[in-house]
Amino acid sequence: MNIFIRRQIQNFAIMLLVIIGLGKLFAALPLKFARAFEHIYGQMIDPNVAITHGVLSFLLGLLMLLLAYSLYKRIRNAWIIEVFVLFAALISEIGHFHKFTVPIIIIESLVLLVLLFSYRDFSRVSNRVTLKWALIFIGISFALLIANASIGLYIMRAHINDVHTIYNALLGSVNLLIFMDTSVLDIKNNLGQIYADSLIVLNWICIFASALLLMKPLIYDHIHDKHDKERVRKIVLEYGQNPMSYLSLENDKRYFFSKTVEGLCSYTIVGKVLVCCGDIICKKTDGFAFLTELLTFSKQNGLDVLLLNVTDYFLDLYKAAQFGIVKYGEDACFDLSAYSLAGGKVAKVRAAINHANKAGISVSEYEPEKSHDPEIEKEILEISEEWVSSKKASEMTFMLGGIGLDNPLDRRYFYARNDQGEMLGFVVFLPYLDGTAYLADVTRRKNDAPQGVLEKIIYEAFMLFKSEGVQLVNMGLSPLYNVASGDKKTINEKLFAYVYNNMNDAYDFKALHHAKEKYAPSYWEERYIAYYPKPFSPQYAYAIVKAQNPDNMSKLVVSQLMAKKK
């Protein structure tokens, strides 16, 4: 059968489930105890089992409604639960025969058959439960329960002395469900007592269901202890060829580990896009197996895949896997064996360093893993806070690291002081390529620092690395730089070029590039984004921005609009 037709049949069955669920909630309403509805409900429900049938109908109806959306998303666990719920509903209908039993049984059987015959299409794994959605589901359950109880008490006011208005009924239901004691109501007879008892039973069911939901792992993270953190670190140091690889150790990352090879990728999720930080991290010969696992995982979870700032190391593999590829910018790379301050291209840096030397500025390396110094760390954090507060745009994350003083690991810290001993700035370097290369990740200075502070820190770090045998230093990405340099410019490249040339008020792409260019890099390495499936869509563009500005999207938009007004 055509996939499109099959999905439409499944969607129709899911819509029928919603209708059935609403019908069961209606059947659970205590209208059955009102004189005006006695005749209608009498044809549907045996009066002797009205209370128990109402509780069962409420639970089955609520489950059907809550599971409908997950079924629409083709979640496997929702399919399993719904099949059991439908079996229970069928048994309930057969056990309480009435004039509507046959059509309801036919509809429920039809839905059950559709689900059973299309079980292979319901293959997605469940989304991880977050606290937000757990509380939403619990809130919906208790809101429906209180509404049901209030209406029921009002309709049955002839059997309960304290209830005269809907407001009395609401207060009575809240008291009943909070204290779980029928003595809070002045009940006249057995029917009122049975109804109040059934509400307490239903409340306990909701409480236990809520407890089970909240006891599930609220945010699943592969990193649980120091041993697991070391596992990530080991893989990153051994196979991390991308300058971004070490950012996998930042706390804002989730991890996907391969089950068949040694490898991982660090990611975040934006909407329905799994955004990876750099390339997959594994041995090159294991790349195909790892990427196959990652794509299977993403498909099961209904996620598209976006790899940010990838090198050409796995580029042919991404292309073979039908990823879309677009240039994202260029990295400034320095071959330390040939790098010096000679020549006109580096004149500005040379002049800045000479100015710093005359001002008596000195550079030192801080090694927190060898000797912890609270005073140095306090100064570094103060400079960082001042730097962040002075920026017109919010600080970006995910593709930029933090200072990491709480867990330095393999980071290298270089800082500058003036002749009075005041710290003026610092730079944090991250290792990659098995320690033969470093990325200048965090560069910050005081607002009133004299000219040449960062230049002197970076140059002296370069020279120390060179003496240690380090071959390469990377000063990071110039985002969107030179993205439309080829003869055949794609629409995506033209779009990125437009952003580079016209959105510098929100993020100063050109100033960032010039800041790197003045050091006269030995060469520029192209960087790309890889996305699956094609084509490049607005959701990918949103994911790129949102991943790096998770809490400050509105601030970013406002700053851009204010800049345009000026």
Domain boundaries, the chain: 3-215, 331-528
Q: Residue 426's pLDDT is what?
A: 98
Q: Is the Cβ–Cβ distance between 426 and 461 less than 8 Å?
A: no
Cα R_g (the chain), whole angstroms: 32
Residues linked to residue 473 through DSSP beta bridges, in sequence order:
334, 438
- pLDDT beyond 60 at 472: yes
- pLDDT beyond 60 at 434: yes
Question: How far does the chain reach from its first CA to its final CA, in angstroms?
Answer: 59
CA 290 to chain centre: 21
Residues linked to residue 274 through DSSP beta bridges, in sequence order:
269, 305
CA distance 341 to 336: 11
Listed residue (433, 53, 423) closest to 242, CA to CA: 433
Listed residue (158, 157, 159, 201) closest to 176, CA to CA: 201
- pLDDT beyond 90 at 516: yes
pLDDT digits (tens, 9 = 90+) for 268-321: 999 889 999 999 999 999 999 999 999 998 887 788 999 999 999 999 999 999
Q: Residue 213's pLDDT is what?
A: 57
Q: Is the Cβ–Cβ distance between 161 and 172 less than 8 Å?
A: no
- pLDDT beyond 80 at 451: yes
C-alpha distances (whole Å) from 176 to each of 169, 188, 191, 237 are 10, 16, 16, 60
Q: Quick count: other Cβ atoms within 10 Å of Cβ 461?
A: 21
Name the CATH topology of 331-528.
Aminopeptidase (3.40.630)
Comparing 90-104, 160-174, 248-262, 421-435, which segment has the lowest mean pLDDT? 90-104
Angle value at C-alpha 318, between 317 and 322, nearest 5 degrees: 115
- 474-506 burial by CB neighbour count: b if 16+ within 10 A, else e? bbbbbbbbebbeeeeebebbebbbebbeeeeeb
Q: Residue 275's pLDDT is what?
A: 96
Share of the chain above pLDDT 70, in %: 74
Q: Residue 173's pLDDT is what?
A: 75
Q: Residue 48's pLDDT is what?
A: 46
CA distance 222 to 217: 12
pLDDT digits (tens, 9 = 90+) for 317-348: 999 999 999 999 999 999 999 999 999 999 99
Residue 126, phi then psi, degrees to nearest 5: -70, 145
The pair of structure tokens assigned to 420 is: 């009075």
pTM of the entire predicted model: 0.65
